Structure 1
Amino acid sequence: MRWLSGQVPMTSLLAVVGGEQSNAAQLVTVLIILLLVATGVALVSRWLRIPYVTGLVVAGLLITELLPRRIGLDSALILNLFLPILLFEAAINTDISRLRSTIKPVTLLAGPGVIIASGVTAAILKFGLGLPWISALLIGVILAITDTVSVIAVFKEVTVPPRLITIVEGESLFNDGMALVLFSLILKVNATGSLTVAEGIQELLVVILGGGIIGLAIGYLGVGLYARSDDSLSNILLTVAIALGTFQLSQFLGMSGVVAVVVAGLVVGNLERSQTVSASSRITVLSFWEYAGFGVNTFIFLLIGIEINLETLLRTLPAVLLAVLAYQVGRFLSVYPLLAIVKRFDRNLPLRWQHVLFLGNIKGSLSMALALSLPAALPDREALIALVFGSVLLSLVGQGVSLPWLINRLELVHTSESQQWIESLQSQLITAKAAQDELDTLLKTGVLPKAVYEEMRASYQVRIAAAERTLRDFYNRRPDKLTAASGRIARLDAIRRRLLLAEKDALNEALRKRVLSEDVVRSRVQAIDQQLLNLEDD
């Protein structure tokens, strides 16, 4: 049989195609198994009242032998695809006004806090395990990362103050960026052999500020395109392009992709609300990102369990226990001293909140992805990976299960019947007024006839009037005649805080537009800041 030059024999071609089809079929089988396992874990976790992500990791440990082919974590896939999706999903749902009110503790924890935690952890591992300084510093940075998904999953099981949730989410958003920049700086020192402190600080600032500028630019551009289209599917594609494109562009330019994605997500998530985008389109986009984040996390935490080898874990258990102790000491020395400083220029964080921030430093997928991306030439690379994997497993299982119990014991929030009643009335107001806004949009666009619009709007107005009348009567009562006066006052403080923040925003906007002079604005802002400090924590 004659073969033409450069041609592939038909039998060989069929064998290749058949092999690819076989691999694809095995991959589909693996995905089906993982989906079924995830569904079962969700049901069992709810029944046992344990965090979903902890259940996924344990399930991954148990199903390894059931899979038709070996699969595992890919650091490049996590860093370039999964991480931007998770960061953007968290940022697009973050209320920037609440984030601004917690920016001081968030900045301290995500900046100096990461540096302190990394340094302390590295020092303990250096002298405890005899690691080289470069290896110890790399592991210190990897174990300084907190996984917001794991912590928020715990918070869904218990009642936590909204401000504490905002601090945890804000710290985790920027914690990742700081850790990745430090990780790259240490790798640069390892490759070049030297890097002065001044050069390190300069590069740190350039990378972070550059990422922020890129995120702002793409975020504002994205919002402009978002507002021009009221098609939900197009907006979903646009936001996916923003999330992935921002990360890749920043990495290509040598800037922080994490910071860029977070900033872009904050811009899109908060500015699009002021645009003429229908509520249905906005809900569809946010629902997509909620599902995307949930799906990515489901596969990541299952793969974490699959990736961990129990025999290796048992062999390295003493070193893993020392690593867990090391990062807990580092976290202790970064949380309590720094938050003690916060009370000098911001609202004091209760000690019980600090306990949650200390013990809530659960590790997750990003730590494992960075461990897998360690250079092949690094001494004892496999041992370092095993050390990180074991620490992540103990963190997810140990802290993930114990944190809800701790939060319940601390009694962070006491929700009285009167508070629940107030919130039910407020929910009526919020939903009815949102429906009225959507009706106004439908009328303006010509979708709804005016007669139908007036009839439907009137029905919502009845609900609004009844809820407002009841709330007005409640707030007008004298405190000494109320058994739940403290709850009512706390609720009013939360409302006053939002109003003061709105006043502060208006002053800053007036200064930006040169409507008011800087001296007048500074004086008024200082007065508002003092009023904010005098309010109790919500």
Structure 2
Amino acid sequence: MLIGTAATATRDVPELIPVLIILLLVATAVALLSRRFRLPYVTGLVIAGLAIAELLPRRVGLNTSLILNLFLPILLFESAINTDISRLRSTLRPILLLAGPGVVLASGITALVLKFGLGLGWIPALLAGVILAITDTVSVIAVFKEVAVPGRLSTIVEGESLFNDGIALVLFGLILQAHLTGSVTLTEGVQRFVVVIAGGALLGLVLGYLCAGFFTQSDDPLSGILLTVALALGAYQLGELLRVSGVVAVVVSGLIVGNAGLSRRFSASSRITLYNFWNYAAFGVNTFIFLLIGLELELFTLWRNLPAVLLAIAAYQVGRLLSVYPLLALLRPFDRPIPLRWQHVMFLGNIKGSLSMALALSLPASLAERGDLIALVYGAVLLSLVGQGLSLPWLVKQLKLSPLSETRRQTEELQAQLIAAKAAQDELESLLKTGVLPKAVYEELRSRYQVQVARAEKLLRDRYNQRADSGAIDAGDRPKLDAIRRHLLLSEKSALQEALRKRVISEAIAREQLQQIDEQLLLLEDE
């Protein structure tokens, strides 16, 4: 059987190569046109897939197993390894609220509307609710790269997406288990939910720190790439094997490697190589996923099911609305408030994507309404990617979330020059210590960068002093200064916690100092 399968796969390769070449050329053309006409890249890919579906020499489509076992771990790990835990920590409450209770609430509301609006059974309605509660953040982040948005808003959206998928997949598995076994009590469901999430987090911690240990001992970027690929795919597979959340395991391990593993001992050039690889991998995966979505969709089927699809879209938008605004309002007494304009972006950026389609395809054949649910999800994904994908950039621009003044632009240019020059000096120091550079060459190169550092520091100091004396701090600079101050306060807090752990200071003194720092953190704005 295995030999026959391998032989079939070998025969298929020559037929797939022309298809792959065509898809790459189409993706290149879409990228160029999207940049020229300032359209969302992922939306352009879906439309292009629809247009070329009948022109390909061989029919291709989404493969559920490929998406869940290969593409999903790659996308999750890339997001996690690029996420700064210090920024994630400052927005953890809204992230957990939206990714936890928010997903459960949105799924339940969507299921209720579909149950009574379309006459679905409870199990199909709940499955559809969970599938449509998943947000495709790739499309939203693509908009953020084109239009300036506050850093804190981007962190919340990215952070929610990291945990949103894990919670939704666990709920999906529990509902399928209820369908296959006939019944699952609420107590069993809650216990299973907690065990799966906690087990996935623990597995991710163990694998992440094991992998991080390698980076403290080695500075080989190529070996690091191989190891992180094995970690991303292996964490997911091991999680599924142990019946815990593979998605959570991948996210946690990626966070550990990105923040603890890639430390100072791993050189800047090696870190750049590793980050670039994962950026390219995620870009390539997203490109093929959204092209395949366009190839998989059928306009005739969408038209036939249009009333049901529109009801499904209305249902998940109501669910998102009732999970964003009320929950974030409840958070107000306990955390810095989320501006209303930011909440509009979180609500209207509720775009659906590949994971929703993959879960729809993975529904068991024993589910009577499987065909109807697949058509429903496909239609919702298409209209979401095209309608919301095209309108979201306009909305973000209209909200004017982060206007960039000329003064602030000049300040950021100086900051960029200073950051780049300081990083180059640090790398020169490392090259000198390892014997790669002779001292004479080191001193000559360092003096060149020192001129750039001194000039940038002087201009920045003059700019801040002038504005401080006049009392006219630019509104755009204040969040930047607050972000720097937040970083310093978090460093102070970490040092105090370490001193307390080592019993250098008493708990009473430490608690008082930590409370003062927490109060200062709450008063700060964050971009």
TM over 0.5, shorter chain: yes
Q: Is 2:403 the counterpart of 1:425?
A: no
Deviations 1:173-195 (A, max 9, x none): 00000000000010111112222
Q: Is 2:398 the counterpart of 1:437?
A: no
How many angstroms does 1:490 deviate by?
A: 3.5
Map of 1:3 onto structure 2: none
Q: Find the aligned partners of 1:20 and 1:377 in 2 and give their Cα distance.
A: 28
Taking a change above 3 Å as real, the CA distance of residues 265 and 21 of structure 1, as seen in their structure-2 partners, is closer
Map of 2:378 onto structure 1: 389
Task: Say if 1:138 and 1:186, in contact at 8 Å, map to a contact too.
Answer: yes
Q: Which has the larger radius of gyration?
A: 1
Q: Find the aligned partners of 2:153 and 2:518 in 1 and give their Cα distance.
A: 19
Map of 1:379 onto structure 2: 368
Q: Find the aligned partners of 1:171 and 1:77 in 2 and give their Cα distance.
A: 24
TM-score (norm 1): 0.95
TM-score (norm 2): 0.97
Which stretch shows the higher mean deviation, 523-532 or 454-463? 523-532
Deviations 1:256-314 (A, max 9, x none): 00100000000001112324111111111110000000000000000000001111111
* 1:503 aligned to which of 492, 498, 522: 492
Task: Say if 1:110 and 1:174, in contact at 8 Å, map to a contact too.
Answer: yes
Code of the aligned partner of 1:186: I
* 1:314 aligned to which of 303, 314, 323: 303
How many angstroms does 1:145 deviate by?
A: 0.4
Q: Is 2:134 the counterpart of 1:118?
A: no
Map of 1:355 onto structure 2: 344
Q: Find the aligned partners of 1:442 and 1:172 in 2 and give their Cα distance.
A: 39
Q: Is 2:523 the counterpart of 1:534?
A: yes
Code of the aligned partner of 1:213: L
* 1:30 aligned to which of 19, 32, 43: 19
Task: Say if 1:60 and 1:304, in contact at 8 Å, map to a contact too.
Answer: yes
How many angstroms does 1:533 deviate by?
A: 1.7
Deviations 1:470-527 (A, max 9, x none): 1112222254636554334343222222212222222233333343333333322222
Task: Say if 1:418 and 1:484, in contact at 8 Å, map to a contact too.
Answer: no
Q: Find the aligned partners of 2:357 and 2:475 in 1 and give their Cα distance.
A: 46
Q: Is 2:334 the counterpart of 1:345?
A: yes
Map of 1:56 onto structure 2: 45
Code of the aligned partner of 2:386: V
Moved over 6 A (4+): none
Q: Find the aligned partners of 1:230 and 1:115 in 2 and give their Cα distance.
A: 43
Deviations 1:158-185 (A, max 9, x none): 1110000000000000000000000001
How many angstroms does 1:22 deviate by?
A: 5.2
Q: Find the aligned partners of 1:275 and 1:536 in 2 and give their Cα distance.
A: 29
Code of the aligned partner of 1:402: S
Secondary structure (helix, strand or coil) at the match of 2:133 reads coil
Q: Is 2:55 the counterpart of 1:45?
A: no
Map of 1:91 onto structure 2: 80
Q: Find the aligned partners of 1:173 and 1:514 in 2 and give their Cα distance.
A: 36
Q: Find the aligned partners of 1:488 and 1:42 in 2 and give their Cα distance.
A: 33
* 2:167 aligned to which of 178, 188, 193: 178
Map of 1:267 onto structure 2: 256
How many angstroms does 1:112 deviate by?
A: 0.2
Task: Say if 1:428 and 1:464, in contact at 8 Å, map to a contact too.
Answer: yes
Map of 2:220 onto structure 1: 231
Code of the aligned partner of 1:211: G
Code of the aligned partner of 2:34: S
Deviations 1:64-83 (A, max 9, x none): 11111111111111000000
Structure 2, unmatched stretches of 5+, are: none
Structure 1, unmatched stretches of 5+, are: 1-7
Deviations 1:24-72 (A, max 9, x none): 2210000000000000000111122110000000000010111111111
Q: Find the aligned partners of 1:228 and 1:536 in 2 and give their Cα distance.
A: 38
- 5 Å-filtered alignment, 1:65-76, equals 65-76=54-65
Map of 2:445 onto structure 1: 456
Taking a change above 3 Å as real, the CA distance of residues 478 and 303 of structure 1, as seen in their structure-2 partners, is closer
